[in-house]
Amino acid sequence: MKNLTQEQWKESLEKDDNAQILDVRTEEEYIEGYIPNSKNIDIYKGQGFIDEINQLDKSKNYYVYCRSGARSAQACALMNQQGIENAYNLMGGITEWEGEVNHQ
């Protein structure tokens, strides 16, 4: 797991052809606003979260965020334990995100 600043995360993501963005907040939080092209998997689902993580392509690079960076750091650690080597945590989360945000 790597903790990346907003700038590092965005730069890495833009250069990465093998990237997948993961939002690990609740569905309610996700609907309020999310980074474009992100997939929502709620870390609060416990075993359900692990089950969904295990269905992901382990060869991809995952850019993970939440509201402030705490849940996403935990998610990255869990992803590493499940065999996903490249998980990048967005420090400060979507709260500090200065890039584009979509709303449902």
The residues assigned a catalytic role are 66
Q: Which residues of 56-74 are buried (b: 16+ CB within 10 A; e: fewer)?
A: beeeebbbbbbbbbebbbb
Token pair in block for residue 3: 């903790």
The β-bridge partners of 102 are 34
How far apart are the C-alpha atoms of 79 and 25, rounded to whole Å? 15
